[in-house]
Each structure stands twice: as C-alpha cells, then as structure tokens.
Amino acid sequence: MRILVTGGAGFLGSHLCDALVARGDAVVCVDDLSTGRTGNIARLQGETAFEFVEADITRDLDLPGPFAAVAHLASPASPPQYLRRPLQTLAVGSSGTENALRFAHRHQARFVLASTSEVYGDPHVHPQPEDYWGHVNPIGPRSVYDEAKRFAEALTSAHRTTLEVDTGIVRIFNTYGPRMSIGDGRIVTNFIGQALTGRPLTVYGDGSQTRSLCYVDDLVRGIIAMIDSTEPGPINLGNTEEYAVGSLAELILEVTGSASAIEYLPLPVDDPARRRPVIDRALERLSWEPEIGVREGIRRTVDWFRSQPGELIEPLNCA
C-alpha cells in the first residue's frame, strides 16, 4: 500500500512511518517541522519506499497518487507545545483535517484520524468508554487542542456520511517512548529528563491526578490495525494501567536510580483529574490490546534517553 502520513516527522508519526515501511508499505510523510524533527525520520530518508515532503497541511496538498490510506496525525500534541501555538493548533485540527480528508476523498483512500482522549476533557465518567461525550471547557486554555480534535471528529464523520469517505477515528491516550522530544513538556519526558540530570521532578498539584500511559510500539500497532480495517470508530487506543502522577514520579526515580527530589508546582488550569481508557472495542474490532507494561516501557524509554545524551536539555514546564 502507498500511505500518506501527516505529521510523519513527529514522535508518533515517525514510529508509524517506520512500522509501515518495515512491513513493506510505501510511505509519503508530510510535516511542516513545527514540532516534528527531521532527526526522527533520518533513518528512513535513504529508503526508496519513503518520501518526505515538507508542507503545511493547513494549505491544500497536491501530490500524485495512488494512495490507499491517509493517516492524519499532524498537530502539536503536548500541552506546552499547543499552548504556545493556540491558533496553529486550531488551524491544523480544522483546516488541516479538512485538507487531509479532501485528499483522501480525491484518492479514494482510507482515512484515519488521530484523535485524542482529550475529547473527554476532565471526565465525569471513569474509565472512559467511546460513547462518553466528554466534559470539555470550550474556552479554557486546553480548548485549542481539545475542541480542534472534537471538530476534526465531526468533520471526519460528516465526510463519511455525505461523501462516503472510508474513515476511521482512533482516540489516542497518553503515549510515550523513544524519540519523544525531551523539551516538549510532557510528564514522561520531563520526569526522565529531570531524573537523569539530577534536577527535582516537577509534580503539578498534589500528584493525585492520574494518567494511563501506553508504550509507542503498542500504539502504532493499533493505528495500523485501524488503517487495515474498515471500522469507523471511534476506538480508544491506550493502556489501562492507571498511575497517579506522584506514583509515576516514584517509578521513574526507581527505574533511573536517580536521587532527585520531588518539587510540587501549581496544577495547570483544566488539567484532567483522571484518565483511563475502556479498550473493549479495540479488542473486539481490531483484536488489539497493549502488550508492554508501564515499568518495561519506562525502562526502554530511559535506556533510549541514556543513549542520546544530546537530548537531555532543560525540560519545559507549563505550570
């Protein structure tokens, strides 16, 4: 298959490109390099089955076909990154998604939207099944990401019903692993960066808020299963192991063997109190479930950062 991956030079996108090329697909990776990095796709650049196009998906995209599928991942994804680019985040979720959908329609390609657990906002239902509509502050700081993704889901559904585009929506819960940018301000990269450089781990609030962290290889398997299916979704993709942020700090101190202290900073506005996916649908419809536990995934991620000392710059805090 020939597949377009938008956001293909990002953390998740580049792992998806790797896995698709490895199984024999041809990949065209589109990225404007606003948060993506060429280093993430450096290994693929020599492959004949891989092509990189530097382009902004919020502008119309014209590439010669054929394309069997479009995986639309382009968007800033970490809170500090999207809070720094509020208008661009809204634009890529709306115009960017519309362009990617039009592209899929033109090429009669399967379209898979990388949506997010953020569509559930600060959830009143726990854990979160796909039929929960969410609890999102439409004008809060996180809304630029949350509402853009909610609009992207609506746009995707409308293209399915009105134009018969073969669409699928996956809702991705917190994902981590090698190649995350240490400076993008997410929990796993901040804590690992801080632990490995002897700085205090910055826990926001009292650390009782929870997240469920999925290792990148598991997540990519789920996206590929969705590309290969005809399921419309939405389908949650995530790991059901739920950790309080404070316990995750302890785990990372243990895995790294670091003597760093823990420092408490204010909780960011609208930070969701808890998050854990219900993944029955992924298991039923995609035969997908995660295989790598959090301790093992964190160990692999720490090993990767240890092998890349140039990555260990100052982490970014949003509190």
Q: Which residues are catalytic?
A: 145
Beta carbon of residue 213, minimum distance to ligand UDP (angstroms, whole number): 9
Q: What residue type is 162 in one-letter code?
A: T
Please name the amino acid found at residue 57: I
Instruction: Decide: is 317 part of the binding site for ligand UDP (CB under 6 A).
Output: yes
Q: Which residues have CB under 8 Å from 239's CB, separation 6+?
A: 173, 212, 213, 214, 215, 218, 277, 290, 293, 294
What pairs with residue 176 in β-bridges? 215
CB of 248 to ligand UDP, least distance (A): 8
Q: Which of 204, 215, 288, 305 binds ligand UDP (CB under 6 A)?
A: 204
Enter the tokens of residue 301: 């991620």
Q: Report the residue from 241, 250, 270, 271 that binds ligand UDP according to the rule CB under 6 A.
A: 271
Site string for ligand UDP, 181-200 (x = CB under 6 A): -----xx--x----------
**Is 99 among the residues that bind ligand UDP (CB under 6 A)?**
no
Q: Which two tokens stand for residue 307?
A: 């092998």
78 binds ligand UDP (CB under 6 A): yes
Q: Please give the single-letter amino acid code of residue 136.
A: V
Q: Which parts of 153-182 interact with ligand UDP (CB under 6 A)? A: 174
CB of 288 vs ligand UDP, minimal distance in Å: 21
Phi, psi (degrees; rounded to nearest 5) at 174: -35, 125
For 274, residues 6+ apart whose C-beta sits below 8 A from its C-beta are 123, 126, 209, 210, 242
- List, in sequence order, every residue forming a beta bridge with 50; answer none if it has no partner: 27
Place of tokens 């609009």: 151
Rounded CA separation 209/244 (Å)? 5
Q: Find how far residue 12's CA is from the centre of its chain.
A: 6
- The least distance separating ligand UDP from the CB of residue 57, rounded to whole angstroms, comes to 22
CB of 170 to ligand UDP, least distance (A): 16
Specify the residue, 16 or 203, whose C-beta has the smaller distance to ligand UDP.
Answer: 203
Check residue 212 for interaction with ligand UDP (CB under 6 A).
no
Told to check if 202 binds ligand UDP by CB under 6 A, we report yes
Q: For binding to ligand UDP (CB under 6 A), which residues are involved?
A: 78-79, 174, 186-187, 190, 202-204, 209, 211, 245, 268, 271, 317
